[in-house]
Chains A and B, each alone.
Chain A
Amino acid sequence: MSDPFRKAEMAVWDAITSLKLTIACLAALMVLVVACTLAQVNLGTLAAVSTYMRSPFVWWQVPQSTVSIPVFPGGALVGMVLAVNLLAAQLKRLELSWKKAGLWIVHAGLILLVAGEFVTSLYQVDDRLAIEEGQTANFVESAREAELSVVDTTDAAVDDVYGIPTTRLARGGDVPIAGTPLTIRVRRFLPNAAVSRGGAPSGATMGVGASVSVQALPVSTVDDIPNEPAAVIEPMAGGRSYGAWLVSPLLGAPQSFVHEGRTYVLSLRQRREYLPYAITLKKFRHDVYPGTDIPKNFSSLVHISNPGRSEERDVLIYMNQPLRYEGKTFYQASFGKNDTLSVLQVVANPGWLLPYISCVLVTGGLLVHFAVSLRRGMRRTDEAAAVPAALEA
């Protein structure tokens, strides 16, 4: 191994493990956090977070062009570098000793915290369950993502449901549906649209879509304004086309066609995930403090029916008291329809426990470290205090 090569290697190693890199990363993170916070006023939280925090770079689009250039490291990159720096520095600098035990624990906890945020950004799924009193639901819906659902309703007892996510529709082309003879040809897809009567025809030849027009709208990134996608699709089976259909959550009734004696219902709706159990809302309560409109409590009394585990039980879900069940967590999120509709937020996050562990580790580690330092510091202060005392005497 040549000497300069070794030198370069050492320089890189020094850089990766340097405290300056740690400080630079923390400072960059502060800049990102400030930018992300301010951007939320105009962009909304989701867009601000994906621009500044969840991407490796912050991009700046050159005005009047389609060229974007990275102007600042994004949260994902900074977090990654910080984690590597932490690990490497830990291996290089901090010796294994009781004196440093606290710092070891702290940094292990911090790495876990960063890891938890990565797991969350990659795997967390947010859904909703809107359910009226007395109703039963066996699926949860995405709040932001839609899907084209094709439901075989031939059998009165069981529906076969097939879903195509809008991300697939956006790519266009032919989409074969496994398990059926159908192929869906995507003629047109709008991520956000308005539907109106009159105007340019939508391009649909069948159903209600043939008599309406659709206009593309800019994609909404603000959290409380949802996108209403629309698509013109052409189901094909057995070598023949069943015409072009307009689908959108804005259209009221689902539309259907029959192929070889089987009825298929088409609709573009919020993406659904079916559950192996059913949830019934027995009672929703919205309490206020007497003489005011200040909400005191929201709670949903639900019944879980899970034939797979032969489980039948009631659960009360209320503020700060979610239901954790089979990898999903159900939270009281909202309500409506004169207090008869309850909206539960349903979150699946395989990394949900990591921050809890991290919290314990970092807190414990800091306590150990400061206790050790304080004891050392006290000893030094005692010695130092002895000198002026002697002088004053």
Chain B
Amino acid sequence: MKLERLVPWFVGILALIGASVTLLPPGKVRGFDVAAFGHLPVLEGGRVKPIDSVGRNALLVIRGQQSFRHEDRTVGPDEWLLDLMFRPDLAAQEPAFVINDPDVLGLLGVPLSSNRYYPFSLLAPHVEELQRQATAAEPIDARQRTRFQSAVLNLYERMQLYWRLSNTVQIAAGPPLVADIANAANPQWKPRQDALAQWASFRPLAPPAGTVGDAGWHSVGEALRRASTGSTEPGLVSWAKIGLAWAAQDAANFDRAVGDLRAASAAARPDASAQAAHEWIFNRAQPFYAGMVIYVLALLLVFASWAWKPALLRPAAFALLVAGTVVHTAGLVSRVILQGRPPVTNLYSSAVFVGWAVVVLGVILERIYRKGFGTAVAAATGFATLIVAHHLASDGDTMEMMRAVLDSNFWLGTHVVTITIGYAGTFLAGALAIGWTFREQLARRLDPATSKAIVAMTYGIICFALFFSFLGTVLGGIWADQSWGRFWGWDPKENGALLIVLWNAIILHARWGGYVKERGIMAMAIFGNVITSLSWFGVNMLGVGLHSYGFMDKAFWALSAFVATQLALMALALAPRRFWSAARPAAAEAGPVERAGDPVRPSRA
């Protein structure tokens, strides 16, 4: 008995330890302290971040993954970026580009095969043709482009990013940075300085000590121009040394130069160094990936508990859910601190937050009802939303700077968070209803008390969702009144939010009027998933309205498939039970409500 009580604690703590293993300091890569290099703070996309983030996001955009296998070892983002900047000929042989479109492959003269990853050297001979095709596709409205046009434009943009990265610290073709520093005052070298200033994809040189703000960050080109007037920034020399050491594969000098540069930037701008170090840990820990894994394990354990040793496994599954929540929360809090913003700032973070809110609500429900059902639904939804978030992250930096109209922590913290909690509530109600449907239709033994408890949970969550979606919608209106001069403009995103409010209100009124019973409420709750997904993602695909910062078109088929499954589940929820189970003909006709009131069901006693 005592031991059984310890099992959940053991499982939960084991999961947390597993998640934090990633925080151990990584070893050297082939003798190079690549991790120290990854810590270096740079300015990119308007904010300070570790160069590790630049490499990761770039590789994510270009290849769709944060690392890859090449010549029988795993190449990480920092090592890849170093190769790209200082050994460009070698980097050109690494399979950094993902190309899926058969027509684009045809353009490159590559036969279709199972291989989807190609090196830059394959693309290089076709640059002019790709540029021609991309230039032709660019002026066409994004919604009107053919699949080939979108694909070729996308490939060309990724090539541009690749090319800019390789020309940020030094010019890829020609002498290294040391030569540029030595000839800084020579007017013949000025075009190279201008090129470096123009092409730089990030600014690697920290502002001098005592400055505040990010305006003082310099590109290498700008620093060379200043060097031509006699003031060589110390960071410039360190970068040149890093480049030389990596090109010569000289680990000792590489580590020393990186160490010098890190110490110098930490002394000049401790705030930037601390920020970069924090984000480096966040990058390495990948809390949302760890959370995803823990949620799957929790889900599997709940399933197992329904078949075997429920008293032992159900609490263990709950412990895993809690451990997943802890990891998920840590990631969310980390993002909030890193960005200095409320948790939801873009579609990606809204998915992370929806998952988090659902899981927290699930933990609360499970504490109240203790049926294992809350754990299952929360773990499944948490996993699903983190998968969605994972796919939304492929656009690169998920902590991009907020455009002027969104630059308001007050409104991001009130309207955006509230409406996202409303999404989460509606999804949780839908997920509970789906779980209820499976249970009703597939379970061998009916347990009316549990069934009733699930209906009660769903009802409570719908009330919760109505409250938050209404409050969020009206707060959005008030924000619109503050920034665009009208409370309500029937903008697609506003309409989407309104639909959620209306639908939840309809469910509650239909229930209060007695027009729907258990089955009806559950089917309606599942339809809530359809409405929420359409208002969350669907309206962004219309490409009209003022909320265009969240525009996306890639997920159209995924969204359609989701809607189709929800409609199928609604049909399943409404299908009479006798369709599925011949075992209990009597139970089919009697409504669950009546059964719940039946005192003569002592089967569990």
Contact B492 A37 (CB under 8 A): yes
Q: Which of B404, B484, B491, B492 has a CB less than 8 Å from the CB of A297?
A: B404
| With A38-B542, A331-B484, A367-B467: A23-B408 Cβ-Cβ less than 8 Å | no
Specify which chain A residues have a CB less than 8 angstroms from the CB of B539 in the assembled complex: 37
Measured in the bound complex, the distance between the Cα atoms of B514 and A19 in whole Å is 10
A379 at the interface (CB under 8 A from B): no
Contact A358 B515 (CB under 8 A): no
Residue of B nearest to A34 (CB): B499
| With A34-B499, A291-B44, A367-B467: A19-B512 Cβ-Cβ less than 8 Å | yes
Q: Which of A20, A297, A370 has a CB less than 8 Å from the CB of B407?
A: A297
| With A40-B545, A319-B405, A329-B485: A33-B217 Cβ-Cβ less than 8 Å | no
| With A40-B542, A53-B490, A331-B485: A33-B495 Cβ-Cβ less than 8 Å | yes
| With A33-B498, A37-B492, A331-B483: A370-B463 Cβ-Cβ less than 8 Å | yes
**In the complex, how many angstroms separate the beta carbon of A83 from the nearest chain B beta carbon?**
15
| With A26-B509, A290-B214: A36-B490 Cβ-Cβ less than 8 Å | yes
**In the complex, how many angstroms separate the beta carbon of A122 from the nearest chain B beta carbon?**
14
Interface residues in B480-509 by Cβ distance below 8 A to A read 481-492, 495-496, 498-499, 502-503, 505-506, 509
A174 at the interface (CB under 8 A from B): no
B477 at the interface (CB under 8 A from A): yes
Question: Which of B90-98, B174-182, B277-285, B468-476 lies on the face that meets chain A?
Answer: B468-476
Specify which chain A residues have a CB less than 8 angstroms from the CB of B403 in the assembled complex: 294-295
Q: Which of B202, B484, B487 has a CB less than 8 Å from the CB of A120?
A: B487
Most buried by B among A120, A294, A362, A381: A294
Interface residues in A342-383 by Cβ distance below 8 A to B read 345-347, 349, 352, 355-356, 358-359, 362-363, 366-367, 370, 373-374, 377, 381
Residue of B nearest to A378 (CB): B368
Q: Which of B407, B463, B543 has a CB less than 8 Å from the CB of A296?
A: B407
B456 at the interface (CB under 8 A from A): yes
Q: Which of A36, A41, A345, A349 has a CB less than 8 Å from the CB of B495?
A: A36
Contact B604 A290 (CB under 8 A): no
A292 at the interface (CB under 8 A from B): yes
Specify which chain A residues have a CB less than 8 angstroms from the CB of B112 in the assembled complex: none
A158 at the interface (CB under 8 A from B): no
Contact A388 B449 (CB under 8 A): yes
Contact B467 A298 (CB under 8 A): no
| With A41-B542, A298-B404, A349-B486: A355-B499 Cβ-Cβ less than 8 Å | no
Specify which chain B residues have a CB less than 8 angstroms from the CB of A27 in the assembled complex: 506
| With A40-B545, A358-B474, A392-B605: A291-B513 Cβ-Cβ less than 8 Å | no
Specify which chain B residues have a CB less than 8 angstroms from the CB of A356 in the assembled complex: 478
Contact A292 B404 (CB under 8 A): no
Interface residues in B36-92 by Cβ distance below 8 A to A read 43-47
**In the complex, how many angstroms separate the beta carbon of A334 from the nearest chain B beta carbon?**
11
Specify which chain B residues have a CB less than 8 angstroms from the CB of A124 in the assembled complex: 486
| With A291-B217, A294-B403, A331-B485: A355-B510 Cβ-Cβ less than 8 Å | no
Interface residues in B199-225 by Cβ distance below 8 A to A read 200, 202-203, 214-215, 217, 219
Give the total of B residues in contact with A, Cβ under 8 Å. Answer: 67
Q: Which of B483, B484, B509, B605 has a CB less than 8 Å from the CB of A391?
A: B605
Specify which chain B residues have a CB less than 8 angstroms from the CB of A294 in the assembled complex: 45-46, 400-401, 403
B479 at the interface (CB under 8 A from A): yes
Contact B487 A366 (CB under 8 A): no
Specify which chain A residues have a CB less than 8 angstroms from the CB of B466 in the assembled complex: 366
Specify which chain A residues have a CB less than 8 angstroms from the CB of B404 in the assembled complex: 295-298, 319
A30 at the interface (CB under 8 A from B): yes
Contact A320 B490 (CB under 8 A): no
Contact A320 B479 (CB under 8 A): yes
Measured in the bound complex, the distance between the Cα atoms of B490 and A145 in whole Å is 21
| With A23-B506, A26-B506: A289-B401 Cβ-Cβ less than 8 Å | yes
Contact A320 B482 (CB under 8 A): yes
Q: Which of A19, A34, A322, A345 has a CB less than 8 Å from the CB of B509?
A: A19
| With A45-B489, A297-B407: A362-B484 Cβ-Cβ less than 8 Å | no
Specify which chain A residues have a CB less than 8 angstroms from the CB of B602 in the assembled complex: 391
Specify which chain B residues have a CB less than 8 angstroms from the CB of A292 in the assembled complex: 45-46, 401
B411 at the interface (CB under 8 A from A): yes
Known interface pairs A26-B502, A29-B502; 16 further A-B residue pairs with C-beta atoms within 8 A, sorted by A's residue number: A33-B502, A37-B492, A41-B544, A288-B46, A290-B203, A294-B400, A296-B404, A319-B407, A319-B483, A322-B483, A346-B485, A352-B487, A355-B488, A358-B474, A359-B478, A374-B460
Instruction: Pick the 3 closest A-B CB pairs, nearest first.
Output: A289-B46, A347-B485, A19-B513
A interface vs B, CB < 8 Å? 19-20, 22-23, 26-27, 29-30, 33-34, 36-38, 40-41, 45, 48-49, 53, 113, 116-117, 120, 124, 126, 288-292, 294-298, 319-322, 329, 331, 333, 345-347, 349, 352, 355-356, 358-359, 362-363, 366-367, 370, 373-374, 377, 381, 388, 391-392
